[in-house]
A and B are shown apart, each in its own frame.
Chain A
Amino acid sequence: EVQVVESGGGLVQPGGSLRLSCAASGFTFSSYWMHWVRQVPGKGLVWVSRINRDGSTITYADSVKGRFTISRDNAKNTLYLQMHSLRAEDTAVYYCVADAFGPNDYWGQGTLVTVSS
């Protein structure tokens, strides 16, 4: 059974940092591009970042460039998103997605990040 499980969300103050993790199982993690997509509750979807199979190609949305870092550990079947200099507008549910936009994409249930003082 395919499972994509995000963790690490929570409440953080503006300017703070947080690291999200995404544990994958039930598929060959190292064969998939991985993405982070976020959604402010009640609002639309926003693509955040992607990383290729071996971590050599990484892309970010302009809104997070220079503040967020995506990485992966294929030995642990885990994707990460390190977030620094967090702002109120980063408050959202963060989804981990395997092979986003492909016919066999897998989404997690999301983890909520709240940036507030």
Chain B
Amino acid sequence: QSVLTQPPSASGTPGQRVTISCSGGSSNVGRDNVYWYQQLPGTAPKLLIFNDNRRPSGVPDRFSGSKSGTSASLAISGLRSDDEADYYCVAWDDTLSGYVFGSGTTVTVL
């Protein structure tokens, strides 16, 4: 059971906006930065969002991150077929003294 809780799945049609939640606690999301990764099938994860809401160079602005209290969210706007992937949130946990990943959310484009 992951320390960070994500819905197992999310879906949308092309062009729609999809939001993925990441619920944590005061020792992780509520205290430190949240990061989001995208993992396409058979590939290594790719960083989409760092420090709650910043995008690395090259990541389209269709991807955005936000955080409020002990919950964070990743939004994908203008959904595309190549956005079908697993998405993971991750944060440092002060109690565990380590990074904790969410359980992952599989996004399906209908």
Contacts and interface: CB of A to CB of B under 8 A. Distances in A.
B50 A46 contact: no
Nearest to A65: B98
Interface in A75-117: 95, 100-105, 107-110
A93 to B, nearest CB: 9
B88 A45 contact: yes
Interface residues of B, number: 25
A102 B102 CA distance: 18
Contacts of A32: none
Contact of B45 (A103, A104, A107): A107
Interface string A37-69: 100000011110010000000011110000000
Nearest to A109: B44
Given A44-B101, A47-B99, A62-B98, A101 B47 contact: yes
Contacts of B103: 44
B101 A103 contact: no
Contact of B98 (A45, A61, A109, A110): A61
B68 interface: no
Interface residues of A, number: 22
B110 interface: no
B100 interface: yes
B44 A108 contact: yes
Contacts of B33: 101
Interface in B39-92: 39, 44-47, 50, 54, 56-57, 86, 88, 90
B24 interface: no
A3 to B, nearest CB: 13
A47 to B, nearest CB: 4
27 contacts: A35-B99, A37-B45, A44-B2, A44-B86, A44-B103, A44-B104, A45-B37, A45-B39, A45-B45, A45-B90, A45-B104, A46-B101, A47-B90, A47-B99, A59-B97, A59-B98, A60-B98, A62-B96, A100-B99, A101-B33, A101-B35, A101-B47, A101-B99, A102-B47, A103-B50, A104-B56, A107-B45
